[in-house]
């Protein structure tokens, strides 16, 4: 009964009882979306995962960005005034012509000029008093006593973005306390960064010998390869030729960081209050973080100082028909506020999307048939149910690859010899990736023919890019080779009918995975089922993530699951996963299967620093052929991503590389309000029913009570 009464309370406040947002937000220009995991780092020098980029890419602005609409991916200036053209120098520092051979290039120099007049978001770190002295750079304990969040500082300020801020951030990548994940890559390229990092480590150790010492002042230590030329210009010098550098410079690692913000946050007392740069980003971007509660909600609000950036006027063919150019030339951003709510579980997330409380959603596997239907021609389209609701479907193939790797150091499946190759190929054929995609991904993905996913240079569709060791070309489409062929290969490898010819023992393959969740069991069963067709037994060793990593590091695994998400759209970012010197064991690199074939290595070194050209394509083809023959991976899946947007959300176009896309989105809050009310009419009869049952239950009780009263009275 109490529940029934209490349930009546929300009626007064909301038209829809199940609205998870405050009533006053109805009809406002707010985008509602969700985050799955608490972000760990919001410091652009440390952050390296897509769920963190969802936030900081809207706040921090590196010099370049990807064009929102154009495909293939293309870099355009963001805060820079133009894309820099590298100047190549030889060993003596003399300029070389643009077409100079890679071997002759000793240095590449990138001179980046940023637009004047860009200003930072309002922040207390920039606040100055009347005499121009920073207000909050010498905080006393008394002042700090009232401070719990950044919003508690009464004064704010801003400042113009200058080139020195970019230089400061590049120096921060080497800061010993920040453990920037790109340091290991960048120190091989940026001139002087390796020594700089070592130098900072030494200084840091010296300052912190007795407890926690003062913060390192990076201004005092110059970095040779990165210089400020003038107020708006800086220069980055790298060793050799490395075209992907520009892609890296479109990532938040190379966003500007104002030194005074760094100084502000390194004051004692702020860290104890969880006020750190790692949690409170300060940038020049279209949005700024105003509510920072990673346990529940993160809110981005329009940056009042945001410069005049316009919606792109050009796009890919078909973008105009899709309405993606309707806002061309209008000022960004369109949305006032973005509310991210923590939503760990799929089911509430999806249901709230259907109720209209999230504006966009990926399609969870579980709800695939509800959302998507296949048209007669094999294409996908939105289901009728979704169509009625006005939901749009956008699909794109992710620039990532999920694969099963063989550990090449393993005595059974590893090794660069014909026996092991045949065994690996037999297993590769037996594991029917197409069926896996159909069962576990609802057809959302394409079976990989090699490491390079579609959308990246070097990927060839159809039979041109076929892996002839696992597939054959049938009617111009790849078709998996037959099981009998796999059995033949297995026999040739010395395991006729799945048992070792020498010992007669059955072949046992260990499968290592960090996945221990309930949904995974079905997948393990499926893998076992696949190998059982060759009479090979699969032993699943599911451990926690740490343990799995340790095995990988030591090379103790045999068959394992792994995946890679592109950092930047270049084949080098995928082929390096198979490059020998990049081995996990010994090299501490990302080559998880420890594949080391001299021929492949040679090809990789040749192609990695080339500009995209037919010559490069040819080299990639050769490298892929080597890798496919050796089969160090069971080339798995390039997942296809399906995103759904409600009718009131405009300008959405999936982009695999760019993360700063929220500024392009536009909302129709009135339509949203109307739809939400229509979709969320509470069903009241259960309440009446529960009340009725309780009342009905009282009747026999009352009757009994009467009878008993009468009997005691008598």
Partner 1 sequence: MMAYVLRRLLYAIPILIGVNLLTFWLFFFVNSPDDMARMHLGMKRVTPAAIAQWKEARGFDKPLLLNREAAGVEKLTDTIFFRHSLRLFVFDFGRAEDNRDIRREIGERMGPSLAIALPSFLVGLLTYVSFALLLVFFRASYVDVWGVVLCVVLMSISTMFYVIGGQYLIGKLWSLVPISGYGDDGPGAIRFLLLPMAVGIAAAVGLRTRLYRTFFLEEINKDYVRTARAKGLNEWRVLFVHVLRNALIPILTGVVVVIPALFLGSLILESFFGIPGLGSYTIDAIHAQDFFVVRAMVFLGSVLYIVGLILTDISYMLVDPRVRLY
Partner 2 sequence: MVPHILWTDVLIYLLLAVIAGFAVYASRHEHLRTPWRQVTRRPMAMGALVVLLAFVAVGLLDSVHYRPRLPGSATQTSSEVRSALDALLSPLRRRTEKTYSAPFATHAHGRETVLRPDGALARAYPRLLHGGAHLTDGESRLADILVKVATATGTVLLLWLPLAAWVAWRQRSPGDGWAGGWQRLWRGESELPWRTLLLTLVVLLAAIANLAWLSAYYHVLGTDQVGQDVLLKSLKSVRTGLVIGTLTTLVMLPFALFFGILAGYARGLIDDVIQYVYTTLSSIPDVLLIAAGVLSLQVYMAHHPETFDNVTTRADWRLLFLCLILGLTSWTGLCRLLRGEVLKLREADYVLAARSLGASHFAIMARHLLPNVMHIVLIAVVLDFSGLVLAEAVLSYIGVGVDPTMDSWGNMINGARLEMAREPMVWWTLGAAFLFMFTLVLAANLFADAVRDAFDPRLRR
- Smallest separation, CB 109 to partner 2 (Å): 49
Chain positions 542 to 601 lying near partner 1, rule: CB under 8 A, are: 544-547, 549-550, 588, 590
Structure tokens, 39? 């972000």
Of 27-46, binders to partner 1 (CB under 8 A) are 38, 40-41
Residues that bind partner 2 (rule: CB under 8 A) add up to a total of 49
Contacts of 500-506 with C-beta under 8 Å, sequence gap 24+, read 506/535, 506/536, 506/537
Indicate the residue among 91 and 475 with the shorter CB distance to partner 2: 475
Per-residue DSSP letter, 315: -
**Given 129, 143, 366, 611, the residue binding partner 2 (CB under 8 A):** 366
Q: Which two tokens stand for residue 222?
A: 């110059």
Q: Binding-site residue total for partner 1 (CB under 8 A)?
A: 73
Q: How many CB atoms lie within 10 A of CB 396?
A: 17
Half-sphere exposure of 230 (CA within 13 A, CB side): 5
Contact string (CB under 8 A) for partner 2, positions 681-700, x = contact:
--------------------
With binding defined as CB under 8 A, does residue 629 bind partner 2? no
Q: Look at residues 8, 185, 116, 137 and name the one whose alpha carbon lies nearest to residue 687.
A: 8
Cα 288 from Cα 61, distance rounded (Å): 12
Q: Residue 212: which of 269, 149, 276 has the closest Cα?
A: 269
- C-alpha 571/C-alpha 336 separation (Å) is 38
- Among residues 15, 48, 51, 541, which is the contact residue for partner 1, using CB under 8 A? 48
Task: Name the segment binding partner 1 (CB under 8 A); options: 126-134, 164-172, 246-254, 344-352.
Answer: 344-352
Q: Show the tokens assigned to 52.
A: 């963190």
Are 340 and 298 within 8 A, CB to CB? yes
User: Is there binding between residue 550 and partner 2 (CB under 8 A)?
Assistant: yes
To 10 degrees, the CA torsion angle through 516, 517, 523, 527?
A: 10
Please give the residues from 409 up to 468 whose contact with partner 2 meets the rule CB under 8 A: 435, 438-440, 443
Which stretch of DSSP H or E encloses residue 34? strand 30-35
Task: Residue 704: name its binding partner from partner 1, partner 2, none (Cβ under 5 to 8 Å by kind).
Answer: partner 1
Of residues 277-306, those binding partner 1 (CB under 8 A) = 278-279, 293-296
CB of residue 290 to partner 2, shortest distance in Å: 32
Assess 215 for contact with partner 1 (CB under 8 A). no
- Distance of alpha carbon 277 from the chain centroid: 21
Nearest CA to 197 among 166, 214, 173? Answer: 173
Q: Are strands 64-66 and 508-513 parallel, antiparallel or unpaired?
A: unpaired
Instruction: Give the bridge partners for 591, in sequence order.
Output: 583
What's the rounded Cα separation, in Å, for the pair 407 and 593?
A: 4
Whether the CB-CB separation of 300 and 173 falls below 8 Å is answered with no
305 contact, one of partner 2, partner 1, none, CB 5-8 Å limit per kind: none
Nearer to partner 2, 521 or 684 (CB): 521
Instruction: Say if residues 127 and 153 touch (Cβ distance below 8 Å).
Output: yes
User: Of 208, 543, 606, 680, which lies in the binding site for partner 2, with binding defined by CB under 8 A?
Assistant: 543
Cα separation, 221 vs 224, in Å, equals 10
Tell me the two tokens of residue 343: 């939503």
Q: Angle at Cα 553 formed by Cα 547 and Cα 558, nearest 5°?
A: 80
Binder among 348, 364, 415, 669 for partner 1 (CB under 8 A): 348
DSSP summary character for residue 442: T
d(CA 191, CA 205): 23
Residue with smaller CB distance to partner 1, 346 or 499:
346
Are 451 and 579 contacting, i.e. CB atoms less than 8 angstroms apart?
A: no
Residue written as tokens 């939105």? 382
Figure out which of the listed residues 215, 508, 647, 658 binds partner 2, where binding follows CB under 8 A: 508
Residues 6+ apart with CB under 8 A from 156: 122, 123, 124, 126, 127
Query: With binding defined as CB under 8 A, does residue 18 bind partner 1?
Result: yes
Quick check: 679 binds partner 2 (CB under 8 A)? no
- Beta carbons within 8 Å of 204's beta carbon, 6+ residues apart: 176, 177, 216
Q: Are 250 and 62 in contact (CB under 8 A)?
A: yes
CA atoms within a 13 Å half-sphere pointing along the CA-CB vector of 470: 31
Count Cα neighbours of 565 within 13 Å in the Cβ-side half-sphere. 8
- Residue 529 partner contact from partner 2, partner 1, none using kind-dependent CB cut-offs of 5 to 8 Å: partner 2
For position 502 contacting partner 2 by CB under 8 A, the verdict is: no
Least gap, CB of 549 to partner 1 (angstroms):
6
For position 142 contacting partner 1 by CB under 8 A, the verdict is no
Could you say which of partner 1, partner 2, none residue 703 binds, taking C-beta under 5 to 8 angstroms by partner kind? none
Please report how close the Cβ of residue 538 comes to partner 2 at its closest, in angstroms: 9
| Strand 508-513 with 471-474, pairing | unpaired
Contact 145, 174 (CB under 8 A): no
Q: Which is nearer to partner 2, 330 or 554 (CB)?
A: 554
User: From the list 329, 517, 697, 700, which residue makes contact with partner 2 (rule: CB under 8 A)?
Assistant: 517
Question: Which of partner 1, partner 2, none does 549 bind, CB closer than 5 to 8 A by kind?
Answer: partner 1
92 binds partner 1 (CB under 8 A): no
Q: Contact between 377 and partner 2 (CB under 8 A)?
A: yes
355 binds, among partner 2, partner 1, none (CB under 5 to 8 A by kind): partner 1
* Residue 67 interacting partner from partner 1, partner 2, none (CB closer than 5 to 8 Å by kind): none
Candidate list 296, 374, 464, 705; residue touching partner 2; CB under 8 A? 374
Does 537 sit near partner 2 (CB under 8 A)?
Answer: yes
273 binds, among partner 1, partner 2, none (CB under 5 to 8 A by kind): partner 1
Indicate whether 152 belongs to the interface with partner 1 (CB under 8 A).
no
**Chosen residue from 177, 179, 501, 529 binding partner 2 by CB under 8 A:** 529
Q: Which is nearer to partner 2, 22 or 517 (CB)?
A: 517
Is residue 37 close enough to count as binding partner 2 by CB under 8 A?
no
SS3 279: coil
Least distance (Å) between residue 371 CB and partner 2: 8
Segment interacting with partner 2, rule: CB under 8 A, options 19-27, 57-65, 365-373, 599-607:
365-373
Q: Is 258 in the site for partner 1 (CB under 8 A)?
A: no
Residues 330-349 as x/- pattern, contact with partner 2 by CB under 8 A = ----------------xx--
Q: Which residue has the tokens 């023992």?
A: 505
Range 177-196, binding partner 1 (CB under 8 A): 177, 179, 181-185
| 687 binding partner 1? (CB under 8 A) | yes
Q: How many CB atoms lie within 10 A of CB 323?
A: 10
The entry of partner 2, partner 1, none that residue 219 binds, CB within 5 to 8 Å by partner kind: none
Angstrom CA distances, 362 to 36, 529, 659, stand at: 12, 30, 16
Give the phi and the psi of residue 411 in degrees, each rounded to 5.
Answer: -65, -25
Q: For residue 198, what are the contacts with CB-CB under 8 A and spacing of at least 6?
A: none
Q: Are 32 and 358 in contact (CB under 8 A)?
A: yes
* Prior bond of 581 cis (ω within 30°): no
Name which of 85 and 683 has its Cβ closer to partner 1.
683
Among 25, 217, 369, 418, binds partner 2 (CB under 8 A): 369
Q: Which is nearer to partner 2, 101 or 504 (CB)?
A: 504
Under rule CB under 8 A, residue 3 binds partner 1: yes
- Complex with partner 1: residue 111 or 351, whichever CB lies closer: 351
Q: Which stretch binds partner 1 (CB under 8 A): 67-75, 155-163, 317-325, 701-709?
A: 701-709
Chain residues that interact with partner 2, rule: CB under 8 A: 346-347, 350-351, 364, 366-367, 369-371, 373-374, 376-378, 435, 438-440, 443, 499, 504-506, 508, 510, 516-526, 529, 537, 539-544, 547, 550-551, 556
């Amino acid at each position: 009964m109490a529940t029934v009464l209490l349930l009546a309370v929300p009626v007064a406040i909301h038209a829809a009882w199940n609205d998870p947002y405050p009533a006053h937000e109805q009809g406002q220009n707010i985008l509602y979306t969700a985050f799955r995991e608490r972000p760990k780092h919001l410091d652009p020098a440390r952050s390296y995962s897509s769920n963190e980029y969802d936030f900081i890419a809207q706040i921090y602005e590196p010099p370049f960005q990807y064009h929102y609409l154009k495909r293939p991916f293309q870099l355009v200036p963001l805060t820079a005034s133009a894309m820099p053209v590298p100047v190549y120098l030889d060993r003596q520092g003399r300029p070389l012509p643009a077409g100079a051979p890679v071997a002759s290039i000793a240095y590449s120099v990138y001179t980046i000029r940023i637009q004047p007049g860009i200003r930072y978001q309002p922040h207390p770190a920039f606040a100055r008093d009347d005499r121009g002295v920073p207000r909050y750079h010498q905080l006393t304990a008394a002042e700090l006593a009232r401070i719990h969040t950044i919003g508690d500082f009464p004064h704010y300020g801003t400042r113009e973005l200058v080139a020195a801020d970019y230089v400061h951030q590049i120096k921060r990548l080497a800061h010993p306390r920040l453990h920037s994940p790109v340091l290991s890559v960048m120190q091989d390229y940026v001139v002087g960064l390796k020594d700089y990092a070592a130098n900072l480590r030494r200084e840091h150790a010296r300052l912190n010998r007795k407890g926690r010492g003062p913060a390192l002042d990076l201004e005092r230590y110059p970095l040779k390869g990165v210089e400020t030329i003038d107020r708006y210009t800086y220069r980055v010098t790298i060793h050799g030729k490395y075209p992907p550098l520009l892609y890296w410079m479109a990532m938040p690692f190379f966003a500007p960081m104002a030194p005074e913000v760094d100084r502000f946050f390194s004051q004692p007392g702020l860290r104890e209050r969880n006020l750190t740069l790692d949690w409170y980003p300060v940038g020049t971007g279209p949005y700024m973080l105003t509510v920072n509660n990673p346990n529940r909600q993160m809110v981005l609000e329009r940056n009042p100082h945001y410069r005049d950036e316009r919606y792109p006027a050009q796009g890919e063919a078909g973008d105009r028909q899709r309405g993606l150019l309707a806002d061309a030339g209008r000022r960004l951003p369109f949305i006032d506020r973005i509310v991210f709510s923590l939503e760990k579980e799929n089911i509430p997330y999806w249901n709230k999307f259907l109720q209209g409380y999230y504006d966009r959603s990926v399609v969870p596997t579980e709800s695939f048939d509800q959302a998507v239907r296949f048209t007669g021609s094999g294409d996908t389209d939105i289901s009728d149910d979704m169509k009625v609701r006005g939901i749009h479907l956008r699909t794109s193939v992710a620039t990532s690859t999920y694969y099963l790797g063989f550990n090449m150091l393993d005595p059974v499946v590893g090794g660069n010899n014909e026996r092991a190759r045949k065994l690996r190929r037999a297993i590769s054929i037996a594991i029917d990736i197409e069926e896996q995609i159909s069962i576990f991904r609802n057809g959302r993905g394409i079976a990989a023919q090699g490491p390079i996913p579609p959308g990246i240079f070097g990927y060839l569709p159809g039979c041109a890019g076929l892996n002839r060791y696992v597939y054959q070309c049938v009617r111009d489409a790849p078709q998996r080779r037959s099981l009998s062929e796999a059995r033949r290969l297995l026999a040739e490898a010395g395991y006729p009918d799945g048992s070792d010819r020498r010992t007669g023992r059955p072949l046992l393959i260990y499968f290592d995975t960090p996945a221990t969740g309930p949904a995974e069991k079905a997948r393990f069963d499926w893998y076992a089922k696949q190998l059982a067709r060759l009479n090979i037994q699969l032993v699943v060793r599911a451990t926690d993530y740490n343990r799995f990593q340790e095995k990988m590091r030591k090379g103790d695994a045999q068959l394992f699951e792994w995946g890679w998400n592109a950092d930047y759209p270049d084949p080098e970012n995928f082929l390096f996963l198979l490059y020998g010197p990049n081995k996990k064991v010994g090299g501490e690199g990302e080559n998880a299967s420890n594949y080391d074939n001299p021929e492949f290595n040679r090809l990789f070194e040749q192609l990695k620093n080339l500009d995209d050209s037919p010559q490069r394509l040819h080299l990639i083809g050769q490298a892929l052929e080597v890798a496919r023959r050796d089969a160090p991976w069971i080339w798995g899946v390039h997942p296809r991503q399906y995103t759904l947007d409600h009718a009131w959300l405009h300008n959405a176009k999936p982009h695999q590389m760019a993360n700063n896309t929220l500024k392009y989105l536009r909302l129709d809050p009135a339509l949203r309000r109307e739809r939400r009310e229509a979709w969320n009419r509470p069903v009241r009869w259960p309440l009446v029913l529960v009340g009725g049952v309780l009342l009905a239950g009282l009747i026999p009780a009352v009757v009994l009570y009467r009878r008993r009263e009468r009997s005691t009275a008598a």
